[in-house]
Structure 1
Amino acid sequence: MSLSDPRFLQLQQWLACHFKAPFDIELISGDASFRRYFRVRVAMQHYIVADSSPALVDNRPFLALASAYRQAGIATPEIMAVDATQGFILQQDLGDQSLLSQLTADNAVHWYQQALRLLPKIAAVTHSADGPLPQYDAAFVQRELDIFPEWLLGHHWQLALTDRERQLLAQAFALLTDNALAQPQVGMHRDFHSRNLMVHQGQLYVIDFQDAVQGPITYDGVSLLRDCYIRWPDAVVTQLRSAFYRQCLAHSLLDARVTESQFNRWFDLMGLQRHLKAAGIFARLLHRDGKSGYIKDIPLTLQYVADVSAAYPELYDFGRWVQQRLLPLCGENA
């Protein structure tokens, strides 16, 4: 980042008007979008400022969801000031401790239980000041699934699929779409995982919620428990998935007639949809956005797909194709 970067100069000018006192500013990250984040220190205080140009990012959903989430009792960073025209948002600094950085084999169940307890509150948020959250409908699911063949198979690996391979994809996508639409629809964060939960003063705070929608009840739970960035033993996931099921029943988010077996199927297949999308996004981040840091996470996402598919007869061939055809490519040219 150059000190002569026009947006950086604009940001400095805006902060100078806001604080009326000397401050230090440093870049701390750019996320998997068109946002940059800076830490600002003023005397003994420190803040985070998001730089997200309105030409590239619509900041209105983030601001509307921040208000809706806080009204629902969900801990999110407090917003101190906003310049909607320039796309600057000054927020509470939660520090650098993501949930991912705190997890160990000894404390994982404790932290994940805390995280799961946030989901009924998130499920209740189906509207913001902008109106109803978007519906995670069939077209939405298909758009997400299409990222996988376009960006990972096409742009990244340049695979020429056979008719049989295209048929396998189409059949799997249809099954996963039907699975998503069959579930109870609730408020859904849509990126609920260990990097988007911050540990601050012993409490979990939720970030990156601007893409929230109304969608399948299992989506956020499987996103958390089958994290794209860390994998836990199946026994741990099974224990936590069962707790998630009981929690959904206790909060009347599920009809009591929904069996745990049915819930588990919803959960498993929902995870497949998310992992296929994520693998495609990781490739898109490299080839479209010049962000190479996510390519290393593709093998884990595809291994989830292969392993879970093996448990379902209607996905067995698809999972074997992922295991035998795609996973070896990760080692060759990922």
Structure 2
Amino acid sequence: MNDGATLTLTLADEAETICFGEDLALALKRGDCLALSGDLGAGKSTLARAFLRALADDDTLEVPSPTFTLVQSYELRIPVSHFDLYRLGDASELDELGFDEALSDGICLVEWPEMADDLLPETRVMLRLEHQGDSRRATITGPEPQVNRIRRVLAIREFLDKHGYARARRRLLTGDASVMRAYETIGTATGEKLVLMDWPKPPEGPPVLDGKPYPKVAHLATDVYPFVAIAGYLRKIGLAAPDVLYADCDQGILLLENLGDEGVLDAEGQPIPERYRESVACLAFLHGHRMPQDLRIDKTHVHHIPDFDPTAMKMEARLLLDWHLPWKRGTPATDTEREDYLAIWDGLIRELASAEKNLLLRDFHSPNIIWRPQEPGVRRVGIIDFQDAMIGPTAYDLASIVQDARSDVPKPLADRLMLDYMTLRRSQGSFDEPTFLKAWAIMAAQRNCKLAGLWVRLLQRDGKPGYLKHMPRTLRYLSAALQHEVLAPLRDWCRRAGIELIES
């Protein structure tokens, strides 16, 4: 085995051993092998039990020793196979236990790894626990990527300890379609739950346009500063965004107020009309405030909100051309198809020159809206995803909620939402409704062209097939947007290219 990276830490007592086992459940991923060895009574079983219970989010999970069965399997958020190789007759018996299959499906936790050392994967993480007076010393050795993940969860633990949340209970909340961010719930000693954003600065990707990587062209945030800035602005004007309680912006760690866990969909995943209508009222309220483009965060940092410029709009719309079209028909776009498609978008973007522009949140739809029934007015709507906010056509966010990418919005409700928004905007003063509706159709089409390609990219590049279930809805929404007369050229192009337009 390549020694790779090494990490050593001291565990003062059993409680710290349990805490470390729980933190490991946030660091290990499918395909990881954790090999546990060390002194008798040093805490191997305690750590393994804590790891499994944390991954299950179940403090009562039965974790029997696999000493006699050799392997115990758990169907958890990530499947885990717990091996105890003490009674392994011969290393070759590891194959008979289904080790390779278990590793391909999930995580393998291996006690007494020395019984099969040569047959364990070279990418395994070795964790040795040894007595050190009244405490234990944990020595972790493994490949740099795996050890770095462990370093990261320990850095977050140190952050929590520093701010008064020592040994707080941490559980994975969710990741998102981005490969950059993850979220945890933080259980405090008082029973309160907070949210932790884990956003390490990513490496710069390959250039895609003019020597710039995709995030820079599309104006995607790559650190936490935009989130902090926009959250402060939204709260300042009276909207409900998470309060940033503590921040380490350099490391990309934020401890946030928990706005709640109630959403705007019912148990069957269908929109709850009252909650969608209040969400639209929230948008109208936001768009009625003219905001500065530069937001000061602290003495040394000012966030300049980027413009949703033509380059970014076209880059996103190209996802349909680059990903959806080859996936759908098995052949890439021809040079003529590509030139025609991009020329159409040049024309559509010019049509937006007179559109109303203000802050657009970018992903204002059901996964990013929290319902807060105890609050008054627009504060009943909690907004949790806005780090990629830009200055652009306000119609974009209304298209995001009326054509919710994650839920079917029935036409009567969609019509009601449009009417609500128009009524509220007219009540605020001068409002150019025809120009807004034209911008709405263009922005709806642009967003759905992006999503139609994004779902395929998440499947093919990132190994996330679950998003493909949204494709039929996306194509229905695209078809609806294309009914506006300004989009006739794009509608004709889609038909010629073989893009399936699903009528509502």
Normalised by the size of structure 1, how large is the TM-score? 0.85
Cα drift, residue 97 of structure 1:
2.1
Corresponding residue for residue 464 of structure 2: 291
Cα separation, 2, equivalents of 1:140 and 1:73: 30
In the alignment, the residues of structure 2 paired with residue 42 and residue 131 of structure 1 have an alpha-carbon distance, to the nearest angstrom, of 31
Q: How many pairs are equivalent?
A: 322
Structure 2 residue aligned with 1:113: 277
Taking every aligned residue pair, what percent have the same amino acid on both sides?
Answer: 27
Aligned partners of 1:122 and 1:189 also within 8 Å? no
- Give runs of aligned pairs for residues 289-328 of structure 1, distance below 5 A: 289-312=462-485, 313-321=488-496, 325-327=498-500
Partner residue in 2 for 1:40? 186
Aligned residue number for residue 246 of structure 1: 423
Residues 26 and 38 of structure 1 are in contact (CA less than 8 Å); yes or no, is this contact kept in structure 2?
yes
Over the aligned positions, Cα root-mean-square deviation in angstroms equals: 2.8
1:85 CA drift (Å):
2.5
Give 2:200's aligned residue.
Answer: 53
The answer for unaligned runs of 5 or more in structure 2 is 1-26, 29-50, 52-146, 204-221, 297-301, 375-379
Deviates more, 1:268-277 or 1:199-208: 199-208
Structure 1 pair 224–328 and aligned structure 2 pair: CA distance change class (3 A): closer
Structure 2 contact 266–272 (Cα < 8 Å) conserved: no
Structure 1 Cα separation of the partners of residues 184 and 402 of structure 2: 30
With 142-151 and 67-76 compared, the bigger mean Cα shift is at 142-151
Alpha carbons 1:76, 1:206 under 8 Å: kept: yes
**Greater Cα offset, 67-76 or 196-205:** 196-205
Per-residue CA deviations over 1:24-52 (Å, capped at 9, x if unaligned) read: 11111111221111111122121111110
Task: Report the residue type matching 1:273 in the other structure.
Answer: Q
Q: Work out which of the two has the higher radius of gyration on C-alpha atoms and give 1 or 2.
A: 2
Residues 199-218 of structure 1 mapped to structure 2, 5 A cutoff = 199-202=371-374, 203-218=380-395
Q: Which amino acid aligns with 2:194?
A: Y
Higher relative contact order (CA 8 A, sep 6+): 1
Counterpart Cα distance in 2 of 1:52 and 1:71: 24
Kindly indicate whether residue 171 of structure 2 is the aligned counterpart of residue 26 of structure 1. yes
SS in structure 1 opposite 2:163?
helix
1:234-280 Cα deviation digits (max 9, x unpaired)? 2321232122122222223xx45x3x444333212220111111222
Structure 1 residues 88-97 or 216-225, which shifts more? 88-97
Amino acid at match of 1:227: D
User: Counterpart of 1:49 in 2: which secondary structure?
Assistant: strand
CA–CA distance in 2 between the matches of 1:106 and 1:279? 22
How many Å apart are 1:83 and its aligned residue? 1.4
Query: CA offsets, 1:194-217, max 9 Å, x none?
Result: 111111344210011111111112
The ranges of structure 1 where at least 4 consecutive aligned residues each deviate by more than 6 angstroms after the TM superposition are: 102-106
Question: Take 2:271 and 2:457, find their aligned partners in 1: how far apart are those partners?
Answer: 35
Partner residue, 1:198: 370
Number of the residue aligned with 2:233:
68
What is the correspondence of 1:229-244 to structure 2 with a 5 Å cutoff?
Answer: 229-244=406-421
